[in-house]
């Protein structure tokens, strides 16, 4: 896949999956724009000094002004990949309204604002958008004990399919991936007795994302692709 001279936004690019996506993209010739919540996150990003990586401290991705400023400085934009999000696990009876709003802001609103800005930036030239939902977004019963998270990620999946239909005639292909639990240091620490061999590796999930964002993807749109590994 050839991304030479193509500009790509990767929200959540400093995280475990995001780093794998950015590494694959710059390896294929892309210029990656990675928004960070704060300076500390930017400093933790191991690819921060790569010549094809542009870091910006954007603050909350649920802030319309911050998102407008981020995308206004990127031209031409080929792809926008939305990995940033948040997780909260609790039965609904123990979930506050503040947590519900937090999950909606972190998962749905941030994704929707980035999608909207990307569509505007791609007007007339086409491009690719890839969102990150979750297994629970497709298999709702598996979201028991994390209903707020499940609902917000299900909304990301619905947004993806609806937007794909809206912008197909503009040459913008919109898709999402739905990972199961991925093999990351944080997930291993949280579940020390799990069988990690069943979990998809971040590089494997990243490969699917990068294909969907690539010029090689000429026909796939409106898909929410399960990336479960053997889990």
For residue 164, give both structure tokens. Answer: 């794909």
pLDDT for the residue 154: 98
Distance CA 32, CA 46 (A): 14
Cβ atoms of residues 6 and 31 within 8 Å:
yes
Find residue 35's DSSP bridge partners.
56
- CATH no. of 7-227: 3.40.50.720
pLDDT for the residue 75: 80
pLDDT for the residue 1: 87
For residue 48, give both structure tokens. Answer: 């921060």
Residue 101, SS3 per DSSP: helix
Question: How much is the pTM?
Answer: 0.96
Q: What is the DSSP letter of 201?
A: B
Mean pLDDT by 10 residues, the chain (231 residues): 95 97 98 97 96 97 96 93 96 97 98 98 96 98 97 98 98 98 92 93 97 98 96 84
Choose among 217, 210, 215, 218: nearest CA to 227.
210
Residue 43, SS3 per DSSP: helix
Chain center to CA of 64:
17
pLDDT for the residue 214: 98
Distance CA 228, CA 177 (A): 10
Report residue 9: phi and psi, to 5°: -90, 135
């Amino acid at each position: 896949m050839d991304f030479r001279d193509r500009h790509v936004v990767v929200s959540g690019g400093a995280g475990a999956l995001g780093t794998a996506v950015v590494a694959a993209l710059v390896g294929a010739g892309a210029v990656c724009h990675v928004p960070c919540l704060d300076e500390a996150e930017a400093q933790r990003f191991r690819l921060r000094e790569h010549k094809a990586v542009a870091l910006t401290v954007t603050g909350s991705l649920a802030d319309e002004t911050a998102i407008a400023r981020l995308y206004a400085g990127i031209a031409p934009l080929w792809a926008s990949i939305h990995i940033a999000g948040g997780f909260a696990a609790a039965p609904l009876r123990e979930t506050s309204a503040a947590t519900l709003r937090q999950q909606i802001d972190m998962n749905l609103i941030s994704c929707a604002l980035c999608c909207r800005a990307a569509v505007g930036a791609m007007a007339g030239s086409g491009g690719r958008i890839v969102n990150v939902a979750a297994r629970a977004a497709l298999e709702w019963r598996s979201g028991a004990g994390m209903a707020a998270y499940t609902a917000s990620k299900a909304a990301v999946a619905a947004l993806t399919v609806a937007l794909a239909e809206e912008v197909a005639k503009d040459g913008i292909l919109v898709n999402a991936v739905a990972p199961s639990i991925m093999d990351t240091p944080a997930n291993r620490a949280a579940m020390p007795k799990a069988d990690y061999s069943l979990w998809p590796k971040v590089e494997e999930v990243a490969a699917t994302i990068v294909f969907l964002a690539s010029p090689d993807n000429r026909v796939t749109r409106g898909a929410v692709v399960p990336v479960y590994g053997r889990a």
